[in-house]
Copies of this chain bind each other. A is one copy, B any other.
């Protein structure tokens, strides 16, 4: 099969790899219908952390089950499935508590036990604990929205849930990447009265509004803080979604939070220092982390299939898998919000 391998910074290639096969009783092999490139894939693409040796890459995909091990109960050949961005056993105490990203037997894609996601096929273990099937094979038009449930929509949802968004709230979303935009959609779906998106990019502002943003703030830093305080009569936001993971974005998130608010964070932290004294003085909480997309999949899948949400709009570019290198370049250069790949 053909699959994407990262060799070095700015060097991803589609290569011929051995076809996968069932090895264990809980395995499944999925024929990929669509996969995509994640903001977190751009970190190794940019050399942080350095790529030590070539390895398969990609962790977001949907597809058709080809074959399963004899112990797999919940998916069968022919099923259309969504794969969350990590493999989880579904039976350990952390999975049972709904934190599958902390699974005691966590498996990452492309690291040996499961194939990389940006390929023609993916073999993975723990199929029952990981994959979620749609009731029937969906219309192709729904594929992009279903694909977002692998990661970005589940992650945006996790940001909003971690921030404890509730009906009537004023919510600020820091970050206008695919996850931030999905955070806007999640907050809106949860009934927030006012959803304030921080964005300086016109196409992203437009999509934020389609997803339910009521206000756009294009300022950054102290000016963004002032703008939020003006919008909220000096009070601050009831909930804040931090969807970037940098020192600046985290500072802004705490700056705009009202006392008693929670900052829901889902951006992988890079150089972040938590302002513990501000947290203490103003009782601002911090919660979130690697999103347990598996936990949210059944409900979000129902929302996509019913048309209640259409997160697939975050894909503003679709390429054949053969052009995966161009997809990475487009996202790195911010020419695309998010790139969908079709094998």
Residue numbers of A with Cβ under 8 A of B are: 93-94, 97-99, 101-102, 162, 233, 235, 258-260, 262, 265, 268-269, 272-274, 276-277, 279-290, 292
Contact = CB atoms under 8 A, between A and B. Distances in A.
Given A102-B259, A260-B98, A286 B287 contact: yes
A268 B288 contact: no
Interface residue SS majority, chain A: mixed
A287 B290 contact: no
Contacts of A98: 260
19 contacts: A93-B235, A94-B235, A94-B260, A97-B259, A99-B260, A99-B282, A102-B259, A102-B260, A102-B282, A265-B280, A269-B276, A279-B286, A279-B288, A279-B289, A280-B288, A283-B290, A283-B292, A284-B289, A285-B288
Contacts of A277: 269
Nearest to A98: B260
Given A93-B235, A285-B287, A259 B99 contact: yes
A258 B290 CA distance: 14
Contacts of A292: 283
A281 B162 contact: no
Contact of A274 (B276, B283, B288): B276
Nearest to A92: B235
Which 9 A/B pairs are nearest by Cβ-Cβ distance?
A285-B287, A102-B259, A274-B274, A283-B289, A280-B289, A99-B259, A99-B260, A269-B276, A94-B259
A260 B97 contact: yes
Contacts of A233: 93
The number of times this chain is found in the oligomer is 2
Given A101-B259, A102-B283, A273-B276, 4 more contacts: A102-B282, A262-B287, A269-B277, A285-B288
Contacts of A235: 93-94
A99 B292 CA distance: 31
B99 A283 contact: yes
A242 to B, nearest CB: 11
Contacts of A286: 274, 279, 285-287
Nearest to A100: B259
Contacts of A276: 269, 272-274
A178 to B, nearest CB: 19
Nearest to A235: B93
A292 B98 CA distance: 31
Contacts of A101: 259, 281, 283
